[in-house]
Chains A and B, each alone.
Chain A
Amino acid sequence: MQEDNKKENKNDRRDFLKKGLLGGSVLAAGAIGLNRVFAGEKVKVVSPDGKVYEASADNLKEFHPKPVTNDEARKGIAGKKFVMVIDESKCDGCKKCTEACQAMHFTESDREWMKVFTMKDSDATAPYFFPKPCFHCDNPPCTKVCPVNATFKRQDGIVLIDNERCIGCRMCMAACPYSTRFFNWSHPDPKQTAAIGDAPYSPESSYPRRMGTVEKCDFCPDMLRQGKMPACVSSCPMDAIYFGDQNEDAVTNASGVTVKLGQLLEDNAGYRHMEELGTEPRVYYLPPKNRKYPIPDVKNAEKGKKSKKMPGMDNGAMQM
């Protein structure tokens, strides 16, 4: 009886999410912000079918949203073409995006799926911050070379990895010109494994991670299915990252400001990183003009280096 109830609820919830959130319409259900629960206390909870129940906090169980099937995760969300715009004139290099991403995906601290580079294109030009997620290219060099279709391009433009199929040949890492991919060289960190708990694996959440497979920025597709933006976007305090659907010609930043994508790129001379490679990235950049923060100190970036300086990289450290 209880099991049935649970199952039903889950199914309902999925339908609910599909109908209610993917359509992008305003939701009808009420909401209760809930974070801390006290034992024995009565709390109000919204069930998947939108009804409000009062339940004892003791009976409130942790719930892992059931991920979509592998087939569904490979197809992606129909009718969408996700796109990101990063405004270099707003980014002050605070790395909140990196932190949010790491918390979202339970990555170890050395894995920066969203990495903030300090770039300096030439001696005379000014340095700027360059947050770099996966570019989710439309001509993706990585999925081309995958021998087992473990990394794939979805119809919504997102490039994902199926860690339960990946054989760990690292051909995609060699092929990616943006050093976006990371490899699980060893057993995952037990702390992170504990934090993940018994969450089922899905290519859309990229965890629990599997040793010997490749991982990277996934544009948080599990969040997108819930109508929410990727962790890096919604955590940017400078509103420097926009995210949206190219088909809707709109992108939204952390403050919820939604602007016309075409207009934004036109007004700010938007560009894509290393366009000459022909990879057709789905991430656009706005040049660091009229920046809203002091010019980054390149020396600071050097100081912050966890690594010893590469020999023979005198200028290379700041290369394009």
Chain B
Amino acid sequence: MKTKSTINCMHFLRGIALATTFTVLFGGSTGAQNDSKPLLVCGVAKTQEQEPVKEKSEATIGLSYFKKADGSKIAVALIKAKNEQRKFAPAKNARVGFYAGQGKEQKLLQSLTTDMKGEATLTLSNNLPLEEDHSFTIVARIENDPLYQDAEEKIHLKDVDLKLLLNSDDTARRATVFVTETDKDGKPVPVKGVELKFYVQRMFGTMPGGDGYTLSTNEKGEASFSYPKKLAGDATGLITVVVKMEDNDQFGNAVAETPVKWGTVLAVDKNPFPRALWEPSAPMPLVLTICILFGGVWSIYAYIFVQLRKIKTEKINA
């Protein structure tokens, strides 16, 4: 199933950062942009060269759904197309149409273009058309693209809720997650047998919390994991616990996270720039040595200069 594309959480993080670097100037320059103009993305300009493509290349779509910790939802389409080596590679500049609903009720959400990584990311609104069992369908489609053949990918998922509770008991450091879905009556129902992964947030990704970090929920929709004692925290010992449901057949991807002071406290250098040979300011012994040696020589020069002045003035005395 292509629905289970292995797009990692990192990908949409990148996408976010990319988009945030654009500035919109309303009513700004009206000069039309042509395709070959370098577009600067996060300080990296990339000239978009359009390779001459004789035939439309065969394309595939991988569609993933993410529910983030704050409840916002996104859909990411990864387009891969056959390249000259006849291998599937991420396809940039592909037009992807995102649709919601099934059959005749299908409605166009938005049409987007893939980025350098072949990804198109859509932020989903909260009033997504839901079916009776609170499930929804998203379809990504390539239609009449000048570069790529038509393709379609559909996901049918249900909304899920992850609730993360942290045991503040210092010895246990247990993180417990309750997974619930909404039933027909709109009541939360625990979900059993959902695979969850327990991570710690790091600068560039989420690190497994420790051995056996993958757990499944029990009948109560509950799974809990004990975090190890030695986890590097920040200057206050803070770490962010992240629990993820990854590529679930029923629910897609979902994340829950909470910061907690479970980490070891980072010892911050009081003076990150001490006097050292490789730092801007020199070690005192070096400064003193140079000053004494060359100061001594120059003071002798000064003495000699005084003597020369005296030779000059003594002419008059003589």
Contact = CB atoms under 8 A, between A and B. Distances in A.
A299 interface: no
A21 B108 CA distance: 32
Nearest to A254: B10
Interface string B257-268: 101000000101
B275 interface: no
A57 B40 contact: no
A140 interface: yes
Task: Give chain B's interface residue range (CB within 8 Å of chain A).
Answer: 35 or more
A31 B12 contact: yes
B203 A248 contact: yes
A28 B73 CA distance: 10
Interface in B209-261: 231-232, 234-235, 240, 242, 255, 257, 259
A258 B205 contact: yes
Given A58-B33, A248-B232, A229 B204 contact: yes
A187 to B, nearest CB: 20
Contact of A25 (B19, B116, B201): B201
Interface residues of A, number: 83
A6 B23 contact: yes
Given A58-B30, A65-B21, A197-B40, A258 B232 contact: no
Nearest to B271: A155
Contacts of B235: 79
Nearest to B240: A25
A86 B89 CA distance: 25
Nearest to B76: A33
Given A26-B68, A39-B32, A195-B47, A63 B23 contact: yes
A2 interface: yes
Interface in A145-178: 149, 152-153, 155
A283 B11 CA distance: 25
Interface in B186-214: 199-208
B316 interface: no
Contacts of A152: 279-280
Contact of B234 (A16, A79, A222): A79
Q: Nearest 6 CB-CB pairs, A to B?
A: A30-B123, A256-B10, A155-B272, A258-B205, A31-B16, A252-B204
Interface of B: 8-35, 37-48, 68-70, 72, 74, 92-93, 110, 112-117, 119-123, 199-208, 231-232, 234-235, 240, 242, 255, 257, 259, 266, 268-269, 272-273, 277-280
Given A10-B23, A45-B24, 11 more contacts: A2-B27, A13-B20, A31-B121, A32-B122, A35-B48, A60-B25, A61-B25, A197-B38, A197-B40, A248-B232, A252-B205
13 contacts: A30-B123, A33-B112, A35-B115, A37-B39, A40-B32, A45-B19, A57-B33, A62-B37, A62-B40, A143-B278, A144-B278, A227-B204, A228-B17
